């Protein structure tokens, strides 16, 4: 369930619980978890800074709703396919993205 408030204390500040089960636990816990989490943070922040992510629209301009079904129920469950819209936030961002893609030869 999308419930970001689960990470807040009563006063609205973020709590200190940064445990992520994906990194394992105990003596074999992932030693790269700080690199991995910082990288994920930068990737997600960059995507959100560059793009507007929204529901896709049909030919009449109506939002295409996203159903809440999943293909499987497991720790790595996958969402059923859905349409969405991912567009650069502005022409300035578009040029920056194209520049970065050209540099990375994508």
Binding site for ligand HEM (CB under 6 A): 22-24, 28, 30-32, 35-36
Q: Which is nearer to ligand HEM, 39 or 80 (CB)?
A: 39
**Residue 29 Cβ, how far from ligand HEM at the closest point, in Å?**
6
Helix (H, G, I), strand (E, B) or coil at 105: coil
Q: Which is nearer to ligand HEM, 31 or 73 (CB)?
A: 31
Q: Which is nearer to ligand HEM, 36 or 97 (CB)?
A: 36
Helix (H, G, I), strand (E, B) or coil at 97: helix
Between the two ends of the chain, the Cα-to-Cα distance in Å is 35
Q: Please give the full DSSP string across 22-45, using - where no structure is assigned.
A: GG--GGG--TTHHHHHHHHHHHHH
């Amino acid at each position: 369930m999308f419930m970001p408030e689960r990470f807040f204390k009563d006063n609205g500040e973020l709590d200190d619980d940064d445990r992520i089960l994906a990194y394992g636990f105990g003596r074999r816990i992932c030693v790269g978890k700080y690199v991995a989490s910082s990288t994920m943070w930068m990737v997600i922040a960059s995507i959100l800074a560059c793009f507007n992510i929204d529901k896709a629209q049909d030919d009449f301009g109506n939002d295409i709703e996203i159903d809440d079904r999943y293909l499987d129920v497991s720790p790595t469950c996958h969402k059923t396919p859905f349409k969405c819209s991912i567009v650069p936030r502005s022409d300035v961002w578009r040029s920056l993205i194209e520049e970065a893609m050209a540099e990375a030869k994508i």
